[in-house]
Chains A and B, each alone.
Chain A
Amino acid sequence: MGAARARRGCAVKRLAWLIVGYATLVFFALVFLYPFVIQLSGTFKTEPDASARPLAPFPDPFTTGSFVRMFESTDFPRWLLNSVLVALVVTIGRVFLDSLAGYALARLRFGGRAAIFATIVAMMSVPGVVLLIPKFLVLKQVGIYDSYAALILPLIVDATGVFIMKQSFESVPVYVEEAARIDGAGIFRTYWSVVLPMIRPALLTLTILSFQSSWNEFPHTLVAVQSPDLFTLPRGLADLVSGSLGAGTQYPLKLGAALVATVPVAVVFIAFQRYFVRGATEGGVKG
């Protein structure tokens, strides 16, 4: 009898814990996701509706007017195109150049290797926001300020990526390369067709992190370009909010543009979630 009651007491306690646990999880899920619901529904609301019923998850009436205005009265298509271009080139460049350097630092013997690696590790912790004026100076001096080269070149390699690549190459057993070399493969061939395929998960992590960070990049575009033709989505969006249109109006339009800036990363995130998790826990956290 006593044991049965104790067991029932235990079950009640367990149930209470479960309810509290799930309630907490659902509450926080709402806190973290509902702003995106508001963003999504706000995009398809009319302006009076958006300001009268900011919390409502469904637009009433439903309108795609914000997209029409986005394409007709702003340079939005241009920003989108620029963002796609920058993200693609930067991602491909980073994966190739970072892995190349990572391989050399992990495997090849050459003078100055230790010094280069130490410098790269030190550079990982140089905060981007203190480099705004410096980057602007160099871009001006080199003569590429306000061009695609200014948008892309400074981002095309990154110290953290090199670091991640070096670590992964070191996890590949050496005998694989020795065997390839005995078979007469050159150094580049060994890197490209023997070792690189063996670190595919790390490459995917780097690809995803590079895409995410170049797609989201904002401060760099502030000091690299000034003509609206060269704006990327974040830059155009920031301009839309803080500039010409002023604050407090046209929220469906702004939310719509923000939505387009959010969706690609969201899709990649949902498809490749565990690589994001890897990136966050391995590569350290960036501002």
Chain B
Amino acid sequence: MRVLTLRRGRRSGIYGRQATAGWVFVAPVVLILGLFLLLPIVMALYVSFTRWNGQGSPFTGDVPMAGVDNYTDLFSKPGLARQDFMLSIRNNVYYVLIVVPVQTVVALFLALVVNQRLLKGKTFFRTAFFFPSVVSSVAISVVFLFLFTNSGAVNALLAALGIHGPAWFSDPRGVVHIVLTNTGLVDPSAPPSALAGHELFGLSWWEWLSGPSVALCAIIALVVWTTCGTFMLLYLAALQNVPVELEEASLLDGAGPFQRLRYVTLPLLRPTTFLVLTLGLIGTWQVFDQVYVMSQGDPAKTTLTPAFLSYRTAFRGFEYGTGAAISFVLFLIIVVLTLIQRWVLRERDGGAR
């Protein structure tokens, strides 16, 4: 060891060579990430303050500037832009509120079952549950589109149970509206004026509280089905770290399986649950592929999400400024969620030490 440090001390040339090599080694990564990740963010930030329509370069003096209008219009200017944006936020909130808890609970449940020592074939089942997570989201969306056609597999299953399945991708009503209508509580042509008469950001309360449409529910089913496997793996990894002595001790104390789960296993899994919840929260704001393939925001904009709306506004509506502004609002939401996650995880690591 001493010989080595001496060598280093004597031959200062090695640091020079290391510095050069270091920069040469990281250069491709730095260049490409800089060019296609950092620079684009700066350029798009600029475009979000303009009214560029996609013609020519956005960085010439000819492009009209918009100031912060592209942002403020989304929140305060009555019109189509704000309405679409608020609808996309509403849809995504319903999506998050259902996907995150359901995928977390199912993932935990699957991990607990697969982890049972009495059951054989653990590897096979783990593989089976994880498989949907690794294949192409576009291919999976095509398959699910087929499953959810009017005469598709899902409706055939429902029919076998005596239920008349909905027209998944053409019924634009929210599930809350459907339930209220079918139970006869509310006449859909005359919704309660307390809700229909008051609005928030341009949408009436009746619209805010519609619930997800059946089309969005189909997408939710698809996403939960794809992501569960990955989160199950995180739980399985954590379960393998639960000390056997703890389980044995609780057995000796006469704890039943459910008590053991409640008082021993779940508290030990709390860090994993936090990770799964936050990864879910961050991921669910980015839903795009499934919407693009399955519904393009339809029926009646009930599957519009901010990510897809941003794309549509820019590349189909040629309002790049507004599109970029929407993606930055989305970026902000995700950054805040990520920072909260990292902050809490860091806190926890520090506490454990």
Contacts and interface: CB of A to CB of B under 8 A. Distances in A.
Interface in A119-150: 119-120, 123, 125-138, 140-142
Contacts of B39: 138
A44 B176 CA distance: 39
A284 to B, nearest CB: 7
A84 interface: no
A131 B37 contact: yes
A201 interface: no
Given A132-B311, A157-B29, A219-B288, A29 B146 contact: no
Given A32-B225, A133-B47, A238-B138, 5 more contacts: A32-B229, A51-B151, A130-B328, A237-B138, A280-B234
B121 interface: yes
B316 to A, nearest CB: 11
Which 8 residue pairs are nearest across A and B when measured between Cβ atoms?
A134-B40, A110-B22, A104-B25, A134-B44, A108-B22, A258-B139, A154-B36, A101-B29
A29 B7 CA distance: 60
Contacts of A42: 146
B18 A216 contact: no
Interface string B23-49: 101101110110111111101100100
A285 B320 CA distance: 30
Contact of A123 (B4, B37, B139, B227): B37
B152 interface: yes
A35 B135 CA distance: 13
Given A129-B288, A284-B279, A273 B127 contact: yes
Contacts of A33: 128, 131
B331 interface: yes
Interface stretch (B80-88, B112-120, B178-186): B112-120
Nearest to A182: B7
B313 to A, nearest CB: 9
A178 interface: yes
A120 B307 contact: no
Interface of A: 14, 17-18, 21-22, 24-25, 28-29, 31-33, 35-36, 38-39, 42, 50-52, 54-55, 97-98, 100-101, 103-105, 108-113, 116, 119-120, 123, 125-138, 140-142, 153-154, 156-157, 159, 162, 178, 182, 187-188, 191, 212, 215-216, 218-219, 222-223, 233-234, 237-238, 241-242, 247-248, 251, 254-255, 257-259, 261-262, 265-266, 269-270, 273, 276-277, 280-281, 284-287
A67 B299 CA distance: 31
Contact of B119 (A18, A140, A262, A277): A18
24 contacts: A18-B118, A32-B128, A35-B147, A38-B147, A39-B143, A108-B18, A108-B22, A108-B25, A110-B22, A119-B33, A126-B37, A132-B327, A133-B310, A134-B327, A136-B314, A136-B315, A137-B44, A141-B43, A234-B138, A242-B292, A255-B146, A257-B142, A258-B136, A280-B230
A116 B141 CA distance: 38
Interface in B33-88: 33, 35-41, 43-44, 47, 57-59
Given A126-B37, A134-B40, A251 B237 contact: no
